[in-house]
């Protein structure tokens, strides 16, 4: 049943945004991509934004049945050429409306790994442009009790009938991009920053001896679904995911040997996969040759599209390059601008040479 006051899809980009005026082009691109609406399963707008960005830089661009955007850049080496797949996911975590009460307040379920502690007082945005505020039940609750079943979304409605959203409507967090100089902050750095890396690598890669597939995947946050299907279709010889990872450099943080500003993190292990040693070494040795700072990452919780690519068909040598990120899965994820630029440089260097996995 249709809900009241439905509007067109939320505009992804304001081309006259004064905040982007004079901004570094890479930061401006990051702002556009991270501020776009696209919870898991609803990545269409992000996909079109990325498609526009990469127009003219790939030899072939297509969208598969699940919604993954696949851009192929043909290699210049002799055939048969290796197929190298880079993957970054377009989706972001979010929420979906499960019930509207008589006063117009919405109850919701999570889409992906949503932390209740990060929600109270924050805002979300629906596809039709409606913005809601996360509130919580106060009566019979302690000051520290924050659970999803005690939270609701206030969209400013006065009754169920005038609520501008309805059951089944998804929303993403809403916070705008902030430029802090060397550090930049936005919602959905996970993993739009990986998408930014792939876009820039595609633009800067003049030639490669390999056929390179730049795959912008869907539904990673709910089970690596896009990488599972796209890797099956591409059948790569080598796969690298580009995603975010947490850090251990904030006060009383969990012990972790990853810091902002110390370079991209080359994954050794996470909760879902062990990186192929040859892929890990390829990234590290290339970084050394190119004098690009890097770190090794051992993540005790979570995984990436690399897990799905590694286990597709009969198996693929796979690894992951991670952009160190503070406050992952919150509306204010922070990265270091130098780490972003060095991630791009490293992948361009890797793809520009003959790859041997000995």
Q: Which residues pair with 178 in a beta bridge?
A: 185
Rounded distance, CA 297 to CA 206, Å? 29
Question: Among all chains, which residue has been given the structure tokens 């790939």?
Answer: 58
Question: What CA–CA distance (Å, rounded) separates 216 from 191?
Answer: 10
Closest CA to 334 of 237, 270, 247, 275: 247
Distances (CA, A) of 238 to 115, 276, 312: 34, 10, 11
Angle at the Cα of 27 from the Cα atoms of 121 and 290, rounded to 5 degrees: 125
Query: And the tokens for 54?
Result: 């990469």
Question: Which residue of the set 43, 200, 220, 333 is catalytic?
Answer: 220
Active site residue 220: yes
- Active site (catalytic) residues: 220
């Amino acid at each position: 049943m249709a809900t009241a006051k439905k509007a067109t899809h939320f505009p992804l980009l304001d081309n006259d945004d004064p905040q982007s005026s004079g901004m570094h082009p890479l930061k401006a691109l990051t702002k556009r991509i991270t501020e776009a609406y696209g919870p898991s399963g609803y990545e269409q707008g992000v996909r079109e934004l990325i498609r526009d960005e990469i127009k003219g830089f790939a030899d072939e661009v297509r969208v598969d049945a699940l919604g993954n955007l696949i851009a192929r850049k043909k290699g210049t080496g002799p055939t048969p050429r290796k197929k190298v797949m880079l993957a970054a996911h377009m989706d972001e975590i979010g929420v979906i409306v499960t019930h509207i009460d008589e006063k117009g307040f919405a109850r919701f379920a999570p889409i992906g790994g949503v932390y209740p502690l990060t929600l109270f007082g924050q805002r979300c945005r629906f596809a039709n442009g409606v913005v809601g505020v996360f509130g919580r039940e106060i009566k019979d609750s302690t000051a520290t009790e924050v659970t999803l079943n005690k939270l609701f979304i206030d969209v400013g409605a006065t009754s169920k009938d005038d609520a501008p959203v309805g059951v089944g409507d998804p929303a993403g967090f809403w916070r705008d991009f902030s430029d802090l100089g060397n550090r930049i902050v936005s919602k959905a750095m996970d993993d739009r920053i990986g998408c930014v890396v792939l876009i820039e690598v595609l633009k800067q890669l003049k030639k490669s001896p390999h056929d390179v597939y730049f795959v912008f995947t869907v539904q990673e946050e709910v089970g690596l679904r896009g990488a599972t299907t796209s890797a099956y279709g591409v059948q790569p010889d080598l796969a690298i995911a580009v995603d975010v990872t947490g850090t251990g450099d904030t006060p009383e943080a969990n012990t972790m040997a990853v810091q902002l500003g110390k370079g991209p993190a080359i994954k050794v292990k996470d909760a879902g996969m062990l990186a192929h040693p040859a892929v890990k070494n390829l990234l590290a040795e290339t970084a050394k040759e190119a004098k690009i700072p890097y770190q090794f990452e051992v993540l005790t919780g979570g995984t990436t599209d690399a897990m799905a690519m590694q286990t597709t068909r009969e198996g693929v040598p796979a690894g992951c390059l991670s952009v160190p990120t503070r406050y992952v899965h919150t509306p204010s994820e922070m990265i270091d601008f130098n780490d972003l630029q060095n991630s791009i440089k490293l992948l361009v260097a890797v793809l520009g040479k003959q790859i041997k996995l000995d």
